[in-house]
Structure 1
Amino acid sequence: MASVDHDPLLLLRGSIASSSAIIPTTSADTSSDSSTEVPLSQATHLLFTHPARVAIPIDAPTRFVSNGSPVDLRSIYFAWLNHEVAIPEYNASATKLNEELGGAGAVHKFAFVERLELIAWLEGGSEESEYIKPLAGETGGASATGAASTAAASKAAPTVSARSGRGTLDPRLAQIYNGERRMGDRNSVLRGIKPTDFSHVRKLAQAFMSKKPGPTAITNNPALAINQKPARRPDPIILLSPSASSLLRMSNIRDFLENGRYTLPDHNASISVLHVSRMMKDIDPNRPMRFILVEGPEQFKPEYWNRVVAVFTTGQAWQFKNYRWSQPTDLFRHVLGIYVGWRGEQPPESVRSFGHRVLATSVDKVRDPAAAGAENRWRDREVVESIWKAIEGNMRSKGWRKDAAPTSI
């Protein structure tokens, strides 16, 4: 396992946070004279310039595990270079790079959720991931990241070191922290020199050591379950309609759902994935929930459908062709449907035939910007609140909780 100072994932994350140069080279020499940038298909090493100049082999395995195998550094860096492009463009670029590599290597193509988790972790949006193994001696991704920040901060470098996307720490302040006198807590100060007799624990432990408990016993025993690490709740998914006639597309859905304001969509925008945050007080009153917005399920695994909480539709049946339930009557029996049209116009007959399983709403038409009252969009927020209320109610009925998601819908 790589050390904190030379861990490829932490070096890449720190370089991204500090906007430092990452140079593909053909040499392990870290001197500035030999660090000539070459195409990724010809590179043998990746040169990091922050917090120190370190060259890592391009095919070095990382702690990111996919299907039980570690993913190499080339694939991780290539995914970051293409993190803003749509999935079809990313796959096409990966195929082209594999052709240029020939037999010298191959770029791993990440699955839909794997790519989301990787980009979010590299950007500093999350501190842990189920796909990233912890460093040796650490208990989780967040601890490993913290260790890397401490190690980087302890070096007296002329520049400030990044702390996993959470700002910077002056190295002089880090030296002061390292020179602090460690104070004991209440337990260590009051313990004294008197030995403590733990012989009574043996009798309590015999009940657990006589027979190895199975999964059911662990679940039903509160004394054991208290130390079990809670499972990470996955993010719910909202599917949008890819139809050009849809009023809500990837270009304007975030402003609509987060700010309560409708604007016309930009049909030339190429956005494949969006994240929207919303407080769901009846599900988790302490923290906002993050929703994943996509236009199609092409990259879905079967279990992703259990996370779909809403489907925006225009009533066109071809939208559901590649869905798990291709018939609208079956689809909207499991998932909430949402239709958004113009105020004053009737929804299409196909939408009305779906019945109460589809929430039909409408927004005011966008006026000419030069006309009087063109900026009066106050009724948009009322529509948005009704949509979120319907989504939250449907999520509660399907089994979404503060720390758990439904296993089937």
Structure 2
Amino acid sequence: MRHLMLAAAATLACAAPALSENRIDLIRPDAPELAARGPHPVGVRAASFTDPDRIDVIATTATGTPPTAERTLQAEIWYPAADGTEPGTTYDTMLRDGVTPTTLSGSAARDAAPAEGSFPLVILSHGYPGNRYLMSHLAENLASKGYVVVAADHPDSTYDDMGAFASTLVNRAVDQRFLLDSMAGLEDEIGAITDADTAAVVGYSMGGYGAMIFGGAGLSQTAIDRTEPERFIPPQKLLSRLAAGSEDHAALVDPRVKAIVAIAPWGRQHEFWDADGLAGMTKPLLLVAGSDDDVSIYDAIRQIFDQTTAATRHLLTFDHANHNAAAPIPAPVEAWAFSESLGRAPFDHYADPVWDSVRMNNVLQHFTTAFLDQHLKGEDRGAFLDLVPDAEDGVWSVDDAGTPDATHSYWPGFPDRSAKGLMFETKNAGQ
């Protein structure tokens, strides 16, 4: 027994430095094919974008003209870097409790010179609460494959800046549009390589709510007229600006956005959309969810999948996963400890009780790459998107040389025995 205890202690001692690095760029040996990093080194730099005249939802009262104020989004931009760029950077941030500092480690190089070329734009949008680093694993991964990726802290919706929920309801899709316009307006060397006319939005939870609205799914009249709960009701029916069929919503939806990825999108469970509003989504859509999501509610996400009838869409399901399926970075080591301010360990903000976070990150990287390559780059990724819906039904049948035979139906890109607990369903526009 003593030998076992010593061996365990030695293992933990060896693992501690790796854990303390809080790496966001891990690729498991059994990761699906398209999770692998791409050919480009990655650069990252900070940015700040200020909307000078946004309606101040929190300061708006029941009557009178809604006041406006500056709304500043602190952002990070990841991008393909010049050949020879040495990898490695850290990100100083904080945990879900809004107090505890943590440092993340990745493969990007801070302020590296950009690669030559023109690259599609991807906007990442965190949940409530969250911050711009919550999906940084995906940001670095996509940048290595030839995308410019921007993620911002959404005011009133971050770990240390949680304002009234109504502000997020009104502002999230508008923030996403503002980020698109801001990136399109860059006149520096990053702007020179950014193809903002070919863009996608990837949103998690409330970011997914915003992405659905920005993508064309206007809000229901129920959302506009509801009388409870109070936190869902912005003053002066400000949500009417996002209503299906309204001029304001039509002006928000942007033809530069070619595809939407909505991970655990919040809203359908509270009737923020109905079938008519969801039918306004015409852009290709990738939905990602855990089958046990008890926040956005899995059955409600399936309603989104069924009712976005004008779009070609996919639904990737992690069996038994909850609301944290795929999107968040692995829990930083500091998140394992009890937080006095939160009253619990922040671990559960990042992790899933059933699935390994790196595994989920890698699966998301694989499918997001296939989906965005198909719709933003025009590459044929159909083999990775036209799948036996239940991975358990896939048959692995190859010869000694590894060549699949006529009965082989295992998910392309997944090593044998690795596509477990996953569903991938597709419906074409009109279905």
With the shorter chain as reference, the TM-score category is under 0.3
Q: Which has the higher strand share?
A: 2
TM-score, with structure 2 as normaliser: 0.26
Rg larger for: 1
Higher RCO (CA-CA < 8 Å; seq separation 6+):
2
TM-score by length of 1: 0.27
